[in-house]
Structure 1
Amino acid sequence: MFKNSTAIIAGAVALSCQIPAHAFQIGDSVNANLIVNLLSDYRSNGASQSRGDPALQGELFVMHDSGLIGGLWMSSVDFGTKTRREEGGYIGIYKELTEDLKVTATVGRFMYPKNSTYSLNEFYSVVEYKNFRYNLVYDWAMEAPNATYQYLGYTFPLPYDTKLYIEYGYHNVGDVLYGASGKISDNYQTRKASLKKSFVGIDWSVTYIDTSLSDNECLYFMGYEDSCSAGVVFGATKVF
């Protein structure tokens, strides 16, 4: 968020392209899952959406045998305002084009009770080929300039059913990043490395996240200088 236009970057359908394996059936051709996620810090596009505090997230994910998908999303947030919840929904499609090539695309609307100026529309897409992953997110219909977020990642299989995921992100958010010298920029980068392992029916993760945003740029973008600095996030996800 940057204070003058109160723009919030949601990234709220991050779980939607992780097609769950333990779905329960609704009829003959529709499966559904409830996904509960507990994080030590809610990071979206590198920036904290909870001011470094823990966040609880929930998602209802529904998928038809044809590949049509939809869902409802909610997360706790903290921007130093009365808004304490991010909520929304999305519809889209998931396709396995080949054994190695998978594509997901969704369109959603995400809202923030007690501050409608934060609300936005979001196009979210993922292309996965073997262990490679490309992610494109486009946000519009918000008070800030339209924003595009792109990620390129790779998953390394490790012993003991552990995975290491590394990711680089390049993001264009419009001319809203003001450096300490007065220079205005429209883009920044993110870096992420995440260890993931399933144990006792829960998906555990520990993730290092960093951005190229300076303290001054982060102050204009999110409202707080320390919301974009490097940090480690612990996560636990349960799929029902």
Structure 2
Amino acid sequence: MNHNRIAGAAFATLFCCAATAESIDSPLGTFDVSMTATLASDYIWRGQSQTGGAAAIQGSLDIAHESGLYIGAWASNVDDEAFPGNSGGADIEVDYYAGYAGSITEDISYDLAWATYTYPQASIFNTDEVLASITAYGVTLGAKYAYDPDSKLYTYIAYERELAYGLGLLLSYGVTDTKDQLNGPDDRDEKYRDWSVGLTKTLAGLNFALIYTDTDIKGSTCEAWYGDKDHCDSNLTLSVSKTF
């Protein structure tokens, strides 16, 4: 069973890892269980670093039923500077998700899910989100709506294609539209675009990904949001993952 993970991971870890799961037969049907460990040079989320440009260690556990239902958990280190106004010292993110994935035809599939993103040391940033996507012939159209504690809509289009020599091509473009209420009367309207281009390759059972990401948050806008013009720089991220 194979479906795209929907947790709030870096683009590199969302797409680079082929699913190799252990199948378990039970009276309730067949379950596929898989675990993935990832080491990345950065944790990029919607075009922005969540680790302040530092490396990230990430892991996930996924359980999928033959019906298409699935649940999972994902975790990564983060840096508190990635969260404007944070005084809680967040240094870890733990996400939980559940959903249903299915196929309409051999080339068309869909995924419906709910996810909660938690920060144990800075719970003010905890977020719940509903997600929906449809994939046809390598093109994915999707939307993610955060409804708690503040509304936020993320829409995206992604493309995945196999190239020669076992390489994979990944393209993504997304739009974030949110109104941040964390700073009271000084809240900001935040709307920006991000895009990614990447290559993947599997060698010796390891999944490698090299991803370039950027956004249209520049100069004074970046400084106003984060207090640092360099926070919104483009990124080139290398990751290596192993799925068990």
- Is TM (by shorter chain) over 0.5? yes
- Matched residue, 1:155: 160
Taking the TM superposition and a 5 Å limit, the aligned residue runs for 1:160-239 are 160-174=165-179, 185-222=189-226, 224-239=228-243
TM-score w.r.t. the length of structure 1 is 0.84
Query: Where does 1:123-142 land on structure 2 (aligned, <5 Å)?
Result: 123-142=130-149
Q: Which runs of no fewer than 5 residues in structure 1 stay unpaired?
A: 1-9, 177-183
Q: Which residue of 2 aligns with 1:62?
A: 63
Distance in 2 (CA, whole Å) between partners of 1:122 and 1:48 is 20
CA RMSD of aligned residues (A): 2.3
2:101 to 69, 78, 94: 94
Identity over aligned residues, as a percent? 27
Aligned position for 1:180 = none
1:47 matched to 2:48 = yes
Distance 2:10 2:99 in 1: 11
Instruction: Provide the C-alpha distance between the structure 2 equivalents of 1:68 and 1:222, rounded to a whole number of angstroms.
Output: 39
Matches of 1:18 and 1:163 in 2, distance apart?
8
Q: Is the 8 A contact 1:41 1:52 kept in 2?
A: yes
Alignment check: 8 A CA contact 2:43 2:56 kept: yes
Aligned to 1:160, the other structure's residue is in SS state helix
- Deviation per CA, 1:91-138: give whole Å up to 9, x if none: 110101210011112102121011110101011232110111112111
Please tell me the residue identity of whatever aligns with 1:192: S
After superposition, the Cα gap between the structure-2 partners of 1:219 and 1:158, relative to the gap in structure 1 and judged at 3 Å, is same
How many residue pairs were aligned?
222
Instruction: State TM-score, norm by structure 2.
Output: 0.83
Structure 2 segments unaligned to the other structure (5+ residues): 1-6, 82-87, 182-187
SS of corresponding position for 1:217: helix
User: Which stretch of structure 1 is more off in the superposition, 14-23 or 216-225?
Assistant: 14-23
Question: Within 2, Cα distance between the matches of 1:40 and 1:19?
Answer: 16
| Distance of 1:22 and 1:195 partners within structure 2 | 20
CA contact (8 A) 1:17 1:126 kept: no
Deviations 1:38-95 (A, max 9, x none): 1111011111100000001111001000000100111110023521100021111010
